Structure 1
Amino acid sequence: MPIENLLSEFLGQNVLWLLLAVFIIVCIMAGVRIVPQSEKFVVERLGRLRSVLGPGINFIVPFLDRVRHKVSILERQLPSMNQDAITSDNVLVQVETSVFYRIIEPEKTVYRIRDVDGAISTTVAGIVRSEIGRMELDQVQANRSSLIEAVRTQVAQQVDDWGIEVTRAEILDVNLDQATREAMLQQLNAERARRAQVTEAEGKKRAVELQSDAELYAAEQDAKARRILADAEAYATQVVAVAIAENGLEAAQYQVALKQVEALQKLGDGTGSQTVILPANALDAFANAFQMLKGRG
């Protein structure tokens, strides 16, 4: 056999083995897929969903299976959205919202919805308008936490068919138009003025009540003193009556003489020049009184 034929046969066999080796390498490379931790791969076979590859090393059928979509499973934040809403008391408010979500079932997301962010934004806007339309303005301001929870719950229910999990929904701000702000400011100032007037009136009322209580207390104390004095005089009269009953006329004359002396002493205690006019028989009465007092002493 000529050398040329042997060489040609050897090269032909080597090329065949070489091509076979290259084919095997290509098949291995086409059949192995390494998926990052933050992603999932959607695999199609002949244009139809075959499987979803999770993080790590995965194997597919070369030339039949194809990775059609690479979907990130990291949490995403939609850009802040502003939408107008009208409360139940007909106040126009502008609500700023933000939503956080992540894709948990990529096969639903890629085959059921085209624009995920746009769909969620539209859904959130509709839910916010609906919820605020059931509330008055004061309730919107005071119950923001319950409003946020209602929005998050309803959004989660709406997007469940899209393979999406809503992790958080936030209402960043509730703004009012200028006319409504001015009206609310006027109302606030009027309320403050009313409270000040009420406080002042209550203070005056309390002062009058305290003054009345003080006057009533003084009257009660005066009446009590008069009652005590009357009781004392009654007791003294009773003592005199007992003395008269026991000692007869002499005790009565003694009491009269004592009163006459006390009256004369009060006349003498007056200040300045005084002229006292007495009846003629008053001197005899005073003389008898002094005599009786001396006798008593």
Structure 2
Amino acid sequence: MTLDSFEDILLQFVGSNILLIVLAVFLVIALLMAVRIVPQSEKFVVERFGKLHSVLSPGFNVIVPILDRVAHRISILERQLPTMTQDAITSDNVLVQVDTSVFYRIIEPEKTVYRIRDVDGAIATTVAGIVRSEIGRMELDQVQSNRSSLIEATKQQLANQVDDWGIEVTRAEILDVNLDEATRAAMLQQLNAERARRAQVTEAEGLKRSVELKADGELYAAEQAAKARKVQAEAEAYATSVVADAINAHGLEAAQYQVALKQVESLNKLGEGNGSQTIVVPANALEAFGNAFKMLGGRSS
């Protein structure tokens, strides 16, 4: 078989099966156009004849070739708007500059692409209005001290207003609240005055407490001294009552016996001292001691 005869046979085969080849190529192209693999971080918006038809979720999807087309590829990753600065006036007429930042993500792309053109610009404008409205209801001190409540109110109102755009607000932050130099100097002066006042109050309270503690100590000492005198008086009264009971029971002899006993004890103490072996006493004292020894002898017998 020559080369010319082979080419003739090939041309005859192609000519008789050209329709099948074209159909096969068309099917392959249609299959490639029908299959859509959507990444995990995206969603595809599909239109049919220019109208919204469906939203393709991440993974393997099939559409109708020619009739359907992927019109929008929307990222569903969380986004952060650039830091925004807007002026606001508090309820006590103080001008402040507020730095805000918003984090959001698209959860319904069919709403986002057909209801809003500039998502970032719309969110920035909405945040500015909300922040101005919220700060206008608060005094400057409240703005500084209740920043968490301001952030929560801003996030809540923003979430309600952007719901029709298919957007979820994940975070809304108030990064900083800045004041002009005049207001800042006035606040610093007020802060220093408040600190001085608190120092004076603390010093006065300390002095007052010191006086109170001193008075309490003196009162306690007086009460303890009174209690001691009361106990001593009760002891003396008890001793007197015992002596009186003894005199009533044993007569004058018992009293004389006690006096003689005390005299002897005193003499013994004088004799026990160093250098006191010789004791000089008056004659009437010796007579008294003799009577005491007689009485003691009589009691012992």
Confirm or deny a common fold (TM above 0.5): yes
Identity of aligned residues (%): 74
Query: Compared with structure 1, are the counterparts of its residues 212 and 62 closer, same or farther at alpha carbon in structure 2 (3 Å cutoff)?
Result: closer
Unaligned runs of 5+ in 2: 245-251, 253-283, 292-301
Q: Distance in 2 between matches of 1:42 and 1:79?
A: 27
Superposed displacement of residue 36, structure 1: 1.1
Alignment TM-score, normalising by the size of structure 2: 0.69
Superposed displacement of residue 201, structure 1: 2.5
Cα deviation digits, residues 49-87 of structure 1 (max 9, x gap): 111111122222211211111111111111111111111
Within 5 A, what are the aligned runs for 1:105-120?
A: 105-120=108-123
Aligned to 1:203: 206
Aligned to 1:284: none
Given residue 34 of structure 2, which amino acid in structure 1 is its aligned partner?
Answer: G
Aligned to 1:282: none
Aligned to 2:195: 192
Cα RMSD between the aligned structures?
A: 3.8
Q: Distance in 2 between matches of 1:295 and 1:166?
A: 114
Match of 1:66 among 66, 69, 72: 69
Query: Compared with structure 1, are the counterparts of its residues 177 and 10 closer, same or farther at alpha carbon in structure 2 (3 Å cutoff)?
Result: same
Secondary structure of the residue aligned to 2:134 is helix
Q: Distance in 2 between matches of 1:120 and 1:218?
A: 75
Superposed displacement of residue 194, structure 1: 1.1
Secondary structure of the residue aligned to 1:201 is helix
Superposed displacement of residue 295, structure 1: 9.1
Alignment TM-score, normalising by the size of structure 1: 0.70
Query: Compared with structure 1, are the counterparts of its residues 111 and 219 closer, same or farther at alpha carbon in structure 2 (3 Å cutoff)?
Result: closer
Unaligned runs of 5+ in 1: 240-246, 248-290
Aligned to 1:54: 57
Secondary structure of the residue aligned to 1:141 is helix
Cα deviation digits, residues 198-250 of structure 1 (max 9, x gap): 2222333344445556677788869x97xx99xx9xxx9xx9xxxxxxx9xxx
Superposed displacement of residue 103, structure 1: 0.7
Aligned to 1:44: 47
Aligned to 2:271: none
Within 5 A, what are the aligned runs for 1:194-273?
A: 194-209=197-212
Given residue 14 of structure 2, which amino acid in structure 1 is its aligned partner?
Answer: L
Q: Which moved more, 1:36-45 or 1:198-207?
A: 198-207
Match of 1:160 among 157, 160, 163: 163
Cα deviation digits, residues 135-181 of structure 1 (max 9, x gap): 11222222222211111111111000001111111111222221121
Aligned to 1:98: 101
Secondary structure of the residue aligned to 1:88 is coil
Given residue 50 of structure 1, which amino acid in structure 2 is its aligned partner?
Answer: H
Within 5 A, what are the aligned runs for 1:9-24?
A: 9-24=12-27
Query: Compared with structure 1, are the counterparts of its residues 187 and 19 closer, same or farther at alpha carbon in structure 2 (3 Å cutoff)?
Result: same
Query: Compared with structure 1, are the counterparts of its residues 218 and 48 closer, same or farther at alpha carbon in structure 2 (3 Å cutoff)?
Result: closer
Query: Compared with structure 1, are the counterparts of its residues 219 and 72 closer, same or farther at alpha carbon in structure 2 (3 Å cutoff)?
Result: closer
Given residue 99 of structure 1, which amino acid in structure 2 is its aligned partner?
Answer: V
Given residue 104 of structure 1, which amino acid in structure 2 is its aligned partner?
Answer: I
Q: Which moved more, 1:9-18 or 1:93-102?
A: 9-18
Number of aligned residue pairs: 251
Q: Distance in 2 between matches of 1:162 and 1:6?
A: 65
Q: Distance in 1 between matches of 2:202 and 2:170?
A: 49
Aligned to 2:151: 148
Query: Compared with structure 1, are the counterparts of its residues 133 and 10 closer, same or farther at alpha carbon in structure 2 (3 Å cutoff)?
Result: same
Q: Distance in 2 between matches of 1:67 and 1:213?
A: 89
Query: Compared with structure 1, are the counterparts of its residues 61 and 198 closer, same or farther at alpha carbon in structure 2 (3 Å cutoff)?
Result: same
Superposed displacement of residue 16, structure 1: 2.4
